[in-house]
Structure 1
C-alpha cells in the first residue's frame, strides 16, 4: 500500500481543524477536501485520536475559535507529541499569542494567499505561498428529464421513512426522476450534524437522483414549486392547517405529497387537491390528472386556506 501524499515534514496522517461541518464553514469544507486528496482522516484538533498522529496538517482560522478554545489550543500545543512536526495551513492571521505559538512550532507553514505571506515572511522566512482550490463538494448537473420532486422545510421535520415510500412510488413509474431538497431552521436551533445525518439518510434512499440545494430564497422556492412535478412534505403525525409549507405549495399549484391523520384539514382531499402518501399506490403521471390536482390545490390554497378567508374570519370575530 502506497504512503499518503506528503505535505510538509513527513507523510501527512491527518487534517486537524476546528469547525467540522462543511455545510456551515468554508474552512471545514476545505479541510474535508484536503483530507480526501491526502487520503487521511479529518478530525477536530481537540479529538483524542489526533494525539496519536505524527505529522498532522493543522488548517485553522483562529478568529473562529471561542476564547476558551483558544486557551485550550495553546495548552494542547505544549503537550502534543507532534509539536515541531506538524504542518500549518493558515487562512487568516490576527496575530494572537496562540497563532504566534503555532507559527513558531510548525515544521512547515502554508499561507492561503499572498497577503498572508507578506505579513509573516519576517517571522517565518520559509513560509510557502499557497492557495485554496475549488471546494465544490457535489459538482452535479441536474437531470431535467422525467418526474421531479421538490422538498423544503425545517431540517428537523424531514421524515426519511416516508421518503422511502416516495422512492418506491417513483421507481414504480418506470420514468427517470430527480429529487431536490432545500432546508431551513427554526430560530434558536443550530445547523449541526443532525441535518447532515438526515441528508445522508435521504441520499441513501434516492442515490444519484437527489440534489441538495441548501438555503433558498422565497423567489427560488417559488420557482421550484412551479417547475417540479411534485412537492413532498411529511409531518410527525399528519399535515395541519397551519403547516405553511404545504399551504404555500398548494397556493402555487403544486401537486403535494403529504401524510394525513384525523386532524388534517377537511379541505384536503386525497387525489383531488393533494395526495396522501399512506393511501397512494401509484403516483399520477398523466398530464391531465396532474393538472387537475394542481388546479384544485391552487383553489384551496388561495381560497379556503388563503389570506382572504382568514382575514374575513378574524374581522367577523372582532
Structure 2
C-alpha cells in the first residue's frame, strides 16, 4: 500500500498479459518488442498504443528461467500475432536479454535500439503517470543498483532531465570503486571501506575512530590488497550506484555487514530497522537522516 492505495509490484496471474493502455501519442508508434533487463526480467510488446507486459520472468542467468523466458517470448508473439518493427534492448552488452534481442533483430532484419537503463526507469514512470508522448522534459531521479551508462561506466545514482526520446545526465552520485566487482554486492562491508577510502582519509579515520566496531571489523580484512585493487583499477569498476551506498551504510551500522544472501538484503534490513522511528519530521518524529544517526551503535 502507498497513500492508502494498492500498488502493483509485479503483474502476474489475473493481470498479465492484460494490455495496458498507453498515454496519448503511443498509438502512432511502430510495433516494439522490449526485451527487458536481466534480473527480475519482464518483456513487453508494444502494439496499437498498448503495452502487453509478460508475467515476471526472474533472473535470466538461471538456465531454467532463461529457457522459460524464450518459450514465453515466442508464445506471446504467437498469441498476439506480433511482428516487431523495432527491438529495444538494455544498453548493457552482457545482459542475456540484450544478446538475444540482437540475435532476433539480425535474424528478422529489424531496427535495434539500445536503451540506457535509468532512462528506461524514468520513461516507465512517466507512462505510469499518463504523461503524453509530446510531454515536456521531466526531472527524473533514478536510485538503483547497477545500470550501464552512456560513458560505459556503471551508473546507479542518477539525476536526469528526460522525456521519452532522450535524456541529459545533469547530476549523479560520486562514483566509488566496487571492490571485487560483483563480490561487493555479496559482501556489503566492501562498500563501506570503499566509501571511507574515497570520500575520507582512511588512515585518519582508522586512527581517530579505531575503537568503533566497523573500523575494528574492517581492519580484520585484507585492506592492503583492496587498496591496491582500487588504485590500479583491478576488478574494481567505479560505480555511482545508490544500491552500493545503501550497502555501505547498512554495514557501517552492523546491518548485514559481513555477507548478503540475496539481492538487496542490506537495504531491505536497513529500511526495516529505520521504519519504526522514521516518521515525518513535521509530525514530531525523526527524519530519515536523523533516524539513521539514531540507529548507529
TM-score of the two chains, using structure 1 as the length reference: 0.28
Larger radius of gyration: 1
TM-score of the two chains, using structure 2 as the length reference: 0.29
